[in-house]
Structure 1
Amino acid sequence: MRRLLALILVVLIGAGGAAFWWLHQPLAMGSEPLELAIEPGTTPRGIARDVVAAGAQTDARLLYAWFRFSGQDRAMKAGNYEIPPGTTPRSLLNKLVRGEESLRALTLVEGWNWRQVRQALAKEEQIKHDAAALTNEALMAQLGRPGVAPEGRFFPDTYAYAKGSGEIALLRRAMHAMDRKLEAAWAQRAPDTPLKSADEALVLASIVEKETGRASDRGQISGVFTNRLRVGMLLQTDPTVIYGLGEKFDGNLRKRDLLADTPWNTYTRAGLPPTPIAMPGKAALVAAVQPEATRALYFVAKGDGTSHFSASLEEHNRAVNRYQRGGQ
């Protein structure tokens, strides 16, 4: 059978020597890459037709004969491909056999909240928006986490995806990445941590992520919140209040906002909020479970990205006056 196909290939292109020449000649196409989508289950004959339908100016029967003669016709993989100018029949087959799909990348940024993740996904033109119409509850159920809020459950990183693949598949990868990072961090927790579970560590890590202006302060910021949890002090952290305000937050946090009770307002409610407030990165996860040893119970931003830490309210008030109110 293969000899017959070889004969067909030779006959179709005119001569035996021409076969070798044809396999190494670029396929005729325009100046832009061709977009080739191969659905699962497509036959080798169908793939040859898809290549021609995508814009390659060649005979589909000739391509099919080459696929069969190569012996790799059943090894070609479904997927979404870009076929650049200069691609030869031989290099095309190699690409399809190796499954070298056209990839795009989406970066989920440390400190982003779930609303920002949704917005970033919506802007991706090459992804299938199969999560866009789902509620948060329906999406998490689809991901195998019914009843779990999506906030903070996806690890911030850069994820490559094939053109035409779905949001749900990408989010599942990011969710499993966070599972692994959180599990690894929780296994390294300090023996005296007041945190009762890995989920509580995730919540604290999200607060540390949002409060850290400079990486060198991360461990001490975690130490402050850990100290407060130990002695039963209110956490009183502005990012949780802002999170609770949601889209109502206009960029200016007012005293009335600090007094407006929401489940995330750590000025009005003791302990950790009910969910994370953002996606923490690996460093924040580790800091949450391995806080720096400190006597500090307070900190204030100095205006240069760093924070001033204080062990007493009196010292803290002086620091606030100096760094926030311009006092001496």
Structure 2
Amino acid sequence: MYIKRILLAIVLVGLVIAGVFAYLIYDALLTPNTSFENKEEVVFIPTNTSFAELIPILRPLLVDIDNFALVARQKKYDQRVRGGKYVLKNGMSNNDIVNTLRSNNIPVNVSFNNQETVEKLAGRIASQIEADSLSILKSITEKSFLETNGFNLETALSMYIPNSYEFFWNTSANNFRDRMLKEYKTFWNKERLDNAKEVGLSPKEVIALAAIVQKETAKVDERPRVAGLYLNRLKSNMLLQADPTVIYAIKKESGNYDTIIKRVLYKDLELKSPYNTYKYSGLPPGPITMPDISSIDAVLRPENHEYYYMVVNVKDFGYHMFAKSLTQHNRNKEQYIRWINEQKIMR
């Protein structure tokens, strides 16, 4: 009888211990462990973060960081922390949190447009993914990459078609660049290549001209007409005489691309730069900005007309007055010169 009582006591103690252990396991695994009040919180985990480095990142978001660490080790997450963007939801348990951090890297939308230089593009991309601007700049200007794919430093910007793209936040600089090359090749499908051939330009030349069109007019509906005008000048072996190229040449020479120039002066037209289309024939050696797809398609599907000249329409700002002859253009130009002098715009 005495032995039976001892065995019963041992069993009861074992059950209590098992119950306590089960409770602790339940508490560690399944009890909510988030400390924030918002519906969700975004966590960015840098590449190559160790488990020890992860703890301070999560500590402000969790009620009990030690319980989380216990569950993470049991599930062997501590041996393979993955970088990326993760979303933790209010009320998540440690089990949910570990499962999320292990396999639910959330993509980010990376968008860019209107960048004038590869340096500005690198900065824009670095603000949206983990890679820093210097590593991105080094990657997108790598000589061997550019030469292998038919680009150079002047045309490097041509490869980046403005749009919104899905990337993982922890995408490396090289992976970003390589993905954009694929997007570039996809963009230049058979239809666009055929259209480029029809207007007598290569894809890079199309983008160089589209950049001028982009800078000349912000009106999307006017871009095919502007594109047609410059194509007319190219076919007639006329200088393009595009003010935006002169402005770009001035910025490039000074190294200050934030300079605001509202008026091109006659002395500017003598600037010795291959981007100065008042002095040098043909297209510039590369794009003066990153053109929108609407500007690229305007060059590929230009308006068919006989215009060779254009000037700002002071009665309908944003649009231009077009002319077939220099005489007509000079009459149109008089209105613009009179207006700009009245505004006292000297530069």
In the other structure, the counterpart of 1:320 is 333
- Secondary structure of residue in 2 paired with 1:263: coil
Q: Which residue of 2 aligns with 1:198?
A: 203
Cα 1:34–1:117 shift into 2, 3 Å: closer
| Deviation (angstroms), 1:268 | 0.6
TM-score with structure 2 setting the length: 0.72
- The structural deviation recorded for 1:287 is 1.4
**2:48 corresponds to 1:37:** no
What is the alpha-carbon distance in structure 1 between the residues aligned to residue 35 and residue 292 of structure 2?
45
Aligned to 2:131: 128
Give the structure with higher Rg (CA).
2
Q: 1:273 aligns with which of 277, 280, 284?
A: 284
The alignment status of 1:223 with 2:236, answered yes or no, reads no
Q: Distance in 2 between matches of 1:145 and 1:190?
A: 19
Distance change (3 Å), C-alpha of 1:301 and 1:140: farther
What does residue 139 of structure 1 align with? 142
| 2:104 maps to 1:99 | yes
Q: CA deviation at 1:106?
A: 4.5
CA shift in 2, pair 1:260/1:166, >3 Å:
same
**SS state at 1:131 partner:** helix
| Paired positions, count | 305
Gaps of at least 5 residues in structure 1 are: 1-10
Shift in Å at residue 263 of structure 1?
0.7
The C-alpha deviation readout for 1:19-77, integer Å capped at 9, x for no partner, is 5565442225466958463756x9xxx76x66645424233333333x37xxxx79x87
Secondary structure at 2:310's aligned position in 1? strand
Q: Distance in 2 between matches of 1:115 and 1:198?
A: 22
Q: 1:111 to 1:239 in 2, by over 3 A?
A: farther
Structure 2 counterpart of 1:110, which letter? N
Match of residue 3 from structure 1: none
SS at match of 1:309: strand
Q: Answer yes or no: is the 8 Å Cα contact 2:195–2:301 preserved in 1.
A: yes
In structure 2, the residue matched to 1:110 is 114
Distance change in 2, residues 1:21/1:158 (3 Å): same
2:298 aligned partner: 287
For 2:333, what is the secondary structure of its paired residue?
A: helix
Q: Deviations over 1:264-306 (max 9, x none)?
A: 1110111111111111121111111221111111111214111
Matched AA of 1:151: L
Question: 1: distance between equivalents of 2:134 and 2:150?
Answer: 15
What is the distance in 2 between the residues matched to 1:285 and 1:169? Answer: 25
How far 1:222 moved relative to its partner? 0.6
| Equivalent-residue separation in structure 1 for 2:150 and 2:199 (angstroms) | 28
CA distance in 2, matches of 1:51, 1:34: 14
Task: Give secondary structure in 2 for the equivalent of 1:315.
Answer: helix
Tell me, what secondary structure is at the counterpart of 2:311? strand
- Write the distance in 2 (CA, Å) between the matches of 1:133 and 1:120: 10
Identify the match of residue 164 of structure 2 among 158, 164, 168: 158
Distance (Å, rounded) in 1 between the aligned partners of 2:96 and 2:276: 59
Query: Whole-Å Cα distance in 2 between the matches of residues 201 and 146 of structure 1?
Result: 15
What SS does the aligned partner of 1:280 have?
A: coil
Distance 1:28 1:148 in 2: 51
- Kept in 2, the 8 Å contact 1:114–1:278? The answer is no
Cα 1:83–1:172 shift into 2, 3 Å: same
Q: Distance in 2 between matches of 1:298 and 1:192?
A: 23
1:58 aligned counterpart, secondary structure = helix
**What is the letter of the counterpart of residue 33 of structure 2?**
L
Q: Find the residue that maps to 2:84 and give its secondary structure.
A: strand
Deviation at 1:173, TM superposition (A): 3.3
Q: What is residue 4 of structure 1 aligned with on the other side?
A: none
**Cα 1:284/1:20, change in 2 over 3 Å:** same
Which segments of 5 or more consecutive residues in structure 2 lack a partner in the other structure? 1-16, 341-347
Please give the per-residue CA displacement for 1:230-278, whole angstroms capped at 9, x wherever unaligned.
Answer: 1111100011111222253552422111111201111011111111111
Confirm or deny: 8 A CA contact 1:185 1:286 kept in the other structure: no
Q: Distance in 1 between the 2:280 and 2:18 partners? A: 79
CA contact (8 A) 2:211 2:289 kept: yes
Aligned to 1:173: 179
CA contact (8 A) 1:126 1:163 kept: yes
Q: CA deviation at 1:88?
A: 1.6
Whose helix fraction is larger, Structure 1's or Structure 2's?
2
C-alpha RMSD of matched pairs (Å): 3.8
